[in-house]
Amino acid sequence: MSYRTRANMMMIGVNVFWGMSYVFMKMGLSSLGSFTIIALRCLIAFFIAGLFFHKPLRQITRKTILSSAILGFLLFSVFAFVTFGVSMTSASNAGFLVSLTVIFVPLLHCLLVKKLPSWPIGLGVITTLTGIGVLTLKHPFHMNAGDLLCIGAALCYAIHITLTGTFTKNENPIALGILQLGFAGLFALTCSFLFEHPSIPTTLSSWIAILGLGVFCSAIGFICQAIAQHYTTPTHTGLIFATEPIFAALFAALFLHELFTLKELIGSVIVVAGILIAQLDNLLLKKRVHYQETLPK
C-alpha cells in the first residue's frame, strides 16, 4: 500500500471523527455550557498533542506565539459558532453547512489575488448556495439562527486555513498547531468564567462527549491531518473533506435519531455536489501545469 493511499485512508478516518463531533457536541450540551465544552476540548487536545510533540515547542519564538494566538482565536471562533449553532439546529444540518469551508477557501484566495474565480469555483458556489437554500430555508427568506452560526463557522475556518498557509511558511507547523489549541482553550476558558459557571463533566454521557471531542476529534484529528496532508494532494484532501457532512448525517441518524425529510436530503445532495464541482478547479490546474511541463523548451 502506497503512502498516498495510507494518507487518504487516514484522512477518511479523520473525517469520521469530525462527523462524530456534532453528536458529541449535542451530548455535551445537555449538561455543560458551550464555552466550557470548547475549553475542555481544546485544553485536553493541547496537553495530549504537547506530550507527543514536545520537541518543536522548545524552539518557539515570539513570532510563533503571536501567530499561534491569532490562529487560536480563529479556531476558538470556529468552535464557538459550531457549538452554539448545533444547540439551535440539527447535527446533520450543522455538518453540511460547516463543510462550506471547502467553498470559502478558494473564494478568499480569489479576493486576495483580486481575480475572478474559475468556472468550477463559480458553478460550485452557485450550486452550493442553492443546496443551502433547499436545506435550511423553512419559510420564504428565513433561516434558522443556528444555520447562520454554522455558516459563520465555515467562514472563520476558511480564514483560519488561509492564514495557516501563510504562517507555516516561516514557522514550525507542529508548534503552531499545538499552541493554537492552547490559546483557543484559554479564550474559551475566559469566556466560560465570564458568561457561564464552568464545571467538569458529571455524567457518563458528558464525559464521553468531552473525551471524544478532546482526544479523537481534536488531538488525534489535527495531528493525523497534518501527517496525512504531507503525503497526499490538495485535490484528494478536498474531495475527502466532502465526506464529513455525510458522516455527520449518518451519526446523527444513528445516535440522535435525526431523520432527513425529502427536502433536506435533496438540499444535502446539492451541497455535496457543489463542493465536488468546486474541486474540479484543482484537477484542471494540475492538468494545465502538467501540459505546460510537457511543452518543448
The count of structural domains within the chain is 1
Three-class secondary structure assignment of the chain: CCHHHHHHHHHHHHHHHHHHHHHHHHHHCCCCCHHHHHHHHHHHHHHHHHHHCCHHHHHCCHHHHHHHHHHHHHHHHHHHHHHHHHCCCCHHHHHHHHCCHHHHHHHHHHHHHCCCCCHHHHHHHHHHHHHHHHHHEEECCEECHHHHHHHHHHHHHHHHHHHHHHHCCCCCHHHHHHHHHHHHHHHHHHHHHHHCCCCCCCCHHHHHHHHHHHHHHHHHHHHHHHHHCCCCCHHHHHHHHCCHHHHHHHHHHHHCCCCCCHHHHHHHHHHHHHHHHHCHHHHHHHHHHHHHHHCCC
94, pLDDT greater than 50: yes
**Does position 293 have pLDDT exceeding 60, yes or no?**
no
In a domain, 8, yes or no: no
Q: Residue 9 falls within a domain, yes or no? A: no
Q: 58 lies in which domain range?
A: 15-294
Q: Within a domain: residue 208?
A: yes
Report the range of poorest mean pLDDT among 69-78, 79-88, 119-128, 239-248: 239-248
Q: Which of 271, 249, 286, 283 is nearest to 101 (CA)?
A: 271
215 by Cβ neighbours in 10 Å (0-12 / 13-18 / 19+) ranks as middle
- Is the pLDDT at 291 greater than 50? The verdict is no
**Burial (CB count within 10 angstroms: exposed 0-12, middle 13-18, buried 19+), residue 19:** buried
Averaged pLDDT for residues 76-88: 93
pLDDT of residue 139: 59
Q: Looking up cell 449553532, which residue turns up?
A: 85
pLDDT confidence of residue 297: 52
- Taking only the tens place, the pLDDT of each residue in 23-81 is 999 999 988 999 999 999 999 999 998 888 888 788 788 888 999 999 999 999 999 99
Q: How confident is the model at residue 261 (pLDDT cuts 50, 70, 90)?
A: confident
The identity of residue 267, as a single letter, is: G
Q: What is the pLDDT of residues 134-192, one digit of tens each?
A: 877 665 556 788 889 999 999 998 898 888 878 877 788 888 888 999 999 999 999 99
**Residue 34 grid cell:** 458551550
Nearest to 272 by CA among 241, 294, 226: 241
Alpha-carbon gap, residue 129 to 163, rounded angstroms = 25
Is residue 261 included in any domain, yes or no?
A: yes
Question: Does residue 171 belong to any structural domain of this protein?
Answer: yes
Quote the pLDDT of residue 142: 64
